[in-house]
Chains A and B, each alone.
Chain A
């Protein structure tokens, strides 16, 4: 087998975090490699490592030196990360996580920007809904708020910049699109994504295990539902 150079680089972010970079840009294949790397690093349970955080093209490895084995330090952790990743298939063709069906009620009061998005993309509202759910979306990362997923990559027609004036409050469950991605607001927050619908499901509940409905590395299939169905599914 040909010896390949490493497909990642490790950078140092301050004295308690290492960041492994797998590529540039927002690309599902790169995201899947990050997801697979995060799973492998989590499974390796390296001493002192507290958090493994995949993002679009990187995996942050946070550590607490109090947990290191005596006599070891950060360079040893860097070697360990290289060792774990070298032993992991990171081909990017499959996702590590679960496949989740996410019900969304599009348009109306739940998706106030659907008409606007239709106009900007020169599609009908029905076509926007269809295009949004055409292919399952990969979950690159969670962030901004607990349980809030960043998913993609959608059709080029959804390459809309965020709204120039963010809203001060967006209701929980709102589904926003921008920059060929979908973001869901787990609770009421300010934000600038184009809101095309809302899910009745709870994205974050600290009493639940796991606490989030959607996790990094998952694949999400959006399923359009009616307003009646939304009300039926909405948890009290």
Chain B
């Protein structure tokens, strides 16, 4: 019941919804850059309990399945193929022992999420299976995948049931609501924060009316933006305070940085604005060289959109019950991921 890494890809690491509850100890939250795609992949693979998905970046890996599995792919489209044949994203698929999953040209976005029904056997480090690459913590040995790595599947699918399951899954119509699919907006929405008033009105105008280019010095920790500088009213030193996913912080040079999944738990730079949670997946699916623009919304709008998306995920979980039950018929368990290895 294993998967072998033939080629690791550019940066393939296991991520879940993040290592929550340890930021006061200086431990970053981390987790999937595109949390929506991660959650969606888990639901489509028939998992009820959250398990880590493989976050695949720009250049996908080549993986050989040594045992059958039920998988789902979401997020950025990197031309996934099974044994060389293109396969669809956004639905559960059956793979067989000996099958090879590979990726090709980038068509949309930059990060694909690969979920397995039942997940991969990974330790929980401080309550999470996410890989914190900088700290060598969690995930698969605290690092990105390497050639020759062998991943253990937690759920087994008996060979005799595969054809029927594959047919049933292929025949199932899956409707994904608009809040849960890639639907790129012209402008990423931001809200003002307590530091916004530390900036000149001209700086806020610049942020909202200029093109910003995502710099090559961007990674899971933060996206550096190239564009008009955002000067403070006066140069001042702030005390370090809690930092959040999507905060746009501005160091003394005036060049903004959007804090992403692997941000530190605290930071001392002023934050001109905060990208709203529902627009973070689009940012996570943007890559160096891409141009982004911002627009301002009021906080209640951000709260409402966030709640709507959470509800859509819950509704989808309910709607996918028949698929889960069909997969459980085959795997013979009801927990969606607690089969012992």
Q: Are B26 and A143 in contact (CB under 8 A)?
A: yes
Q: Are B137 and A14 in contact (CB under 8 A)?
A: no
B contact residues, range? 35 or more
A12-B193, A211-B22 in contact; A73/B303 too (CB < 8 A)? Answer: yes
Q: Which of A20-42 contact B (CB under 8 A)?
A: 25-26, 38
* Other-chain contact of B247, A13, A53, A57, A206 (Cβ < 8 Å): A13
Q: Which residues of B contact A66 (CB under 8 A)?
A: 310, 313-314
Alpha-carbon separation in the docked complex, A54 to B242 (Å): 8
Binary per-residue interface labels of chain B (242-286) against chain A in the complex, 1 for a CB within 8 Å, 0 otherwise: 101111000000000000000011100001001111000000000
Does A202 sit at the interface, judged by CB under 8 A? no
Q: Are A73 and B307 in contact (CB under 8 A)?
A: yes
Q: Are B125 and A15 in contact (CB under 8 A)?
A: no
Does B20 sit at the interface, judged by CB under 8 A? yes
Does A182 sit at the interface, judged by CB under 8 A? no
Alpha-carbon separation in the docked complex, A64 to B50 (Å): 15
A53-B265, A206-B126 in contact; A142/B303 too (CB < 8 A)? Answer: no
Q: Are A60 and B242 in contact (CB under 8 A)?
A: yes
> How near does chain A come to B143, taking the closest CB pair, in angstroms?
15
Does A210 sit at the interface, judged by CB under 8 A? yes
Q: Are B303 and A210 in contact (CB under 8 A)?
A: no
* Other-chain contact of A26, B125, B137, B193, B239 (Cβ < 8 Å): B239
Q: Are A55 and B266 in contact (CB under 8 A)?
A: yes
Does A82 sit at the interface, judged by CB under 8 A? no
Q: Are A145 and B21 in contact (CB under 8 A)?
A: no
Q: Are A19 and B126 in contact (CB under 8 A)?
A: no
* Other-chain contact of A146, B27, B271, B274 (Cβ < 8 Å): B27
Does A196 sit at the interface, judged by CB under 8 A? no
Q: Are A146 and B244 in contact (CB under 8 A)?
A: no
Q: Are B277 and A14 in contact (CB under 8 A)?
A: yes
Interface size on A, residues (CB 8 A): 45
Does B216 sit at the interface, judged by CB under 8 A? no
Alpha-carbon separation in the docked complex, A141 to B239 (Å): 11
Q: Which residues of A contact B314 (CB under 8 A)?
A: 66
* Other-chain contact of A60, B25, B135, B241, B245 (Cβ < 8 Å): B241
Q: Select the residue from A11, A13, A38 with max chain B CB neighbours within 10 A.
A: A13
Q: Are A38 and B21 in contact (CB under 8 A)?
A: no
Alpha-carbon separation in the docked complex, A99 to B322 (Å): 55
Q: Are A142 and B299 in contact (CB under 8 A)?
A: no
Which residue from chain A places its CB closest to the CB of B265 in the assembled complex? A143
Q: Which residues of A contact B22 (CB under 8 A)?
A: 51, 146, 211
Alpha-carbon separation in the docked complex, A145 to B26 (Å): 6
Q: Which residues of B contact A56 (CB under 8 A)?
A: 239-241
Q: Which residues of A contact B24 (CB under 8 A)?
A: 38, 51-54, 141-142, 215-216
Q: Which of A129-161 contact B (CB under 8 A)?
A: 141-148, 150
What are 25 inter-chain pairs, A to B, with CB distance below 8 A? A11-B194, A13-B271, A13-B274, A14-B193, A14-B277, A15-B276, A15-B302, A15-B303, A16-B277, A51-B29, A51-B242, A51-B265, A55-B241, A56-B241, A57-B239, A60-B241, A62-B20, A62-B23, A62-B244, A65-B303, A66-B314, A142-B26, A146-B26, A187-B135, A211-B25
Q: Which residues of A contact B (CB under 8 A)?
A: 11-17, 19, 25-26, 38, 50-60, 62, 64-66, 73-74, 141-148, 150, 187, 204, 206, 210-212, 215-216
